[in-house]
Structures are given as C-alpha cells and as structure tokens.
Amino acid sequence: MSWDEWEQLKADAAARGSTSMRLNQAAPDGGGGGGDLKSDKKAWVKAGEDTKGLQDDIGKALGKLDDGQSGLGDISGVQSAAAQKELYDSWKKYVGDVKGRCGELGGVMERSGHDLAKSDGDVKAELDKIKSKYQDTEAVGGQAKGR
C-alpha cells in the first residue's frame, strides 16, 4: 500500500466521524477509543538492523562486480567494450545506491522503533528524503546513443 493510499484511508475514516473503533475485536472501554494498540519496539529495531545489514552483502556483490570488470583494459576503439563499461558504470552506481538506501531506510526503521512517538508526518518526511536522494539511474543498455 502506498503512502497516498494510507492517507486517503485515514481521511475517509475521519470523514465518517465514527465515535469508536475496534481493533482486533477489542471492546471499547469507557466509550472513547478501542483496545490497546501495541507496537513491539524490538521488532522495529530488529527490522531496521536487518535492513542495514543488507549493506554487507551488497558491498560483497560490488566487490565481485569490480573484480569482474578489472580485466577489461583499454576500451578505446572497441564499441562492445565501451558499451560494457557504460553498463558496468550504470550498475555500479545503481547497486551502490541500493546499498545506501538500505542503510538509510534501516536507520529510519531503527529510530522509529526506539521512539514510537514520531508522527506519521515526521516518518513520511524522512522517507521522502530517502526517496528523493536515491533516484533510479537512467537506462543505458540497448540505446544507440549516436553510434
């Protein structure tokens, strides 16, 4: 579910003006809200740590990519070698960005677990920063580029 869909669902619920809510069929107490909503801080922190942990494997994959590229040598005058180098550069940037995104997203998740008092807007702002920072690379494979 996208953030916009979630926001629309919340707006629709607010517009209906319901006076009580039942979560997991819990009976409302005192006529006000319903049941106890619980979130496990440890689960959020662990999910964040695991997401950040993906950086290690991605780093290893980047190392293997670099090793596989090392024998290319001089690419001047060889179109296939130049195309391969262009593809390599594109993927190296993309995979590097995935690694960075995992680290930042994991950090947001960890902080959310430690401090569940953040508003939806604060968390969304952090996620929007990550989204704008890590735009996908332009496609380069298969394009003639004037050759």
Q: Report pLDDT digits (tens) over 5-30.
A: 777 777 777 777 655 555 555 555 54
- CB-count exposure of residue 39 (10 Å: 0-12, 13-18, 19+): exposed
φ and ψ at 18, to 5 degrees?
-65, 145
Q: What is the pTM of this model?
A: 0.58
**Binning pLDDT at 50, 70 and 90, where does residue 99 land?**
very high
What 8-state DSSP symbol labels residue 32?
S
Question: Where do the structural domains in the chain lie, given as residue ranges?
Answer: 40-133
Instruction: Return d(Cα 32, Cα 26) in angstroms, integer.
Output: 13
Q: How far apart are the first and last CA of the chain?
A: 43
pLDDT at 96 over 70: yes
**Binning pLDDT at 50, 70 and 90, where does residue 31 land?**
very low
Residues 113-134 have pLDDT tens digits of 777 767 778 888 888 888 888 8
Ramachandran bin of 28, using left for φ above 0, alpha for ψ from -120 to 50, beta for the remaining angles: beta
Bridge partner residues of 28 (DSSP): 34
Over the chain, what is the mean pLDDT? Answer: 76
